[in-house]
Amino acid sequence: MNLKTILITGGAGFIGSHLVRLLVNKYPNYKIINLDKLTYAGNLANLTDVENAPNYEFVKGDIVDADFIHALFDKYQFDAVIHLAAESHVDRSIANPMEFIMTNIVGTANLLNAARSIWKTSNLQPPTSNLFYHVSTDEVYGSLGNEGMFKETTPYDPRSPYSASKASSDHLVRAYYHTFGLPIVISNCSNNYGSHQFPEKLIPLFIHNIKNNKSLPVYGKGENIRDWLWVEDHARAIDVLFHNAKIGETYNIGGHNEWKNIDLIKVICKVMDKKLGRTEGESEKLITYVTDRAGHDLRYAIDSTKLQHDLGWTPSLQFEEGIEKTIQWYLTNEEWLNNVTSGAYQHYYEKQYASR
């Protein structure tokens, strides 16, 4: 492909950092610009292995700042955007909906407007050399019963401020395609797991709590079901879609790997007991059941047949191997986990950029 300058938003986050690493290493002729606000979940320590690569550059900034975003697009003349920056924790969205509305909706609109401005889009002659790739979530589809799976044609039915804000951003992206001819692709992915995830999410939180003999709070009876995908497989899927997807299309990405929360937690407990030299069943004693979350969707399950059939992507890692590798990474990188939890990394990089 021709030399491309690609903007990746949220590239210091969990999924974003895995994607940045993949593209920087795989495509030395691409210029990867990583834009991140460096909130609590954005961590440049996730990217120390590529921070000095000649085809990589980090920019600190907020997608909610429209003037900043337009200036950034004017400076770099991006050929493509892969948009991952988002507030994504459901509990936080219940506590502070407006933060999610601003970042996930207004921030996405700012990026769409800037891309439209520099690409000179028209619904009569859409550009063929540009792409706005919007990374979304399966939560926009709402909740499933015991049967069925989310397809790309499943009607949206978001149940939390987080999923509603992501659904709104998806609709905006499609509207800019149909109205203005902006070349877009959307993907909706299931729950991710793997290394470098901020420990507010279930798997790293429970690994941390088990290690420190803290309570494992389980919503309701733990019967909510999620489809889990290894984060590096998600990054590979984005790579495949970025280069091969049909413009204007939506693709679901999933692991075909459904687990009840309580069953997943018991697997983590079992692996942790083995790795920590504890008696089997010891960590399960830390499980406590708490009042269920408001608007808690019962079940998510992704049908990724379209992606697999059309573009040949499949998950590379079985869950048993993936969860073992994930737990081992957090145990081996306890310093990373402690620094993230304490905010030490964030303070370090805040000082670094304040001095520039």
pLDDT in tens, the chain (356 residues): 466 999 999 999 999 999 999 999 999 999 999 999 998 888 898 999 999 999 999 999 999 999 999 999 999 999 999 999 999 888 888 999 999 999 999 999 999 999 999 998 666 565 568 999 999 999 999 988 888 899 999 999 999 999 999 999 999 999 999 999 999 999 999 999 999 998 888 899 999 999 999 999 999 989 889 899 999 999 999 999 999 999 999 999 998 889 999 999 999 999 999 999 999 999 999 999 999 888 788 888 899 999 999 999 999 988 889 999 999 999 999 888 888 877 766 666 666 655 55
Q: How many of the other CB atoms lie within 10 Å of CB of 120?
A: 10
> Locate tokens 């997943």: which residue?
264
Give residues with Cβ within 8 angstroms of 2, minimum separation 6: 129
Per-residue pLDDT at 170: 98
> If DSSP codes are grouped into helix, strand and coil, which group holds residue 15?
helix
pTM across the whole model? 0.91
The amino acid present at 165, given as its one-letter code, is S
Summarize the chain as % helix, strand, coil (round to 5): 45, 15, 35
Q: Name the fold adopted by 5-196+228-257+295-319.
A: Rossmann fold (3.40.50)
Per-residue pLDDT at 198: 87
**Count of CA atoms in the C-beta half-sphere (13 A) of 256:** 11
Question: 54: part of which helix (H) or strand (E)?
Answer: none
Q: Which of 79, 139, 152, 303 is catalytic?
A: 139
> Locate tokens 């994930």: which residue?
326
Q: Which of 36, 62, 79, 138 is catalytic?
A: 138
Q: Which two tokens stand for residue 109?
A: 């609109």
At residue 323, φ and ψ (nearest 5 deg) are -70, -35
Q: Which of 162, 330, 345, 349 is catalytic?
A: 162
At residue 307, φ and ψ (nearest 5 deg) are -65, -45
Classify the phi-psi angles of 60: left when phi > 0, otherwise alpha if psi is within -120 to 50, otherwise beta: beta
Distance (Å, whole) CA 235 – CA 90: 22
* Active-site residue flag, 74: no
Q: Which two tokens stand for residue 341?
A: 């939890």
Q: Which residues pair with 288 in a beta bridge?
A: 217
Give residues with Cβ within 8 angstroms of 50, minimum separation 6: 20, 21, 24, 25, 56
Distance (Å, whole) CA 61 – CA 353: 11
> Locate tokens 């499943």: which residue?
154
> Locate tokens 């309701």: which residue?
220
* DSSP character at residue 141: G
* Active-site residue flag, 138: yes
The amino acid present at 311, given as its one-letter code, is L
> Locate tokens 């690493």: which residue?
21
The amino acid present at 201, given as its one-letter code, is K
Per-residue pLDDT at 125: 60
> Locate tokens 């007991």: which residue?
273
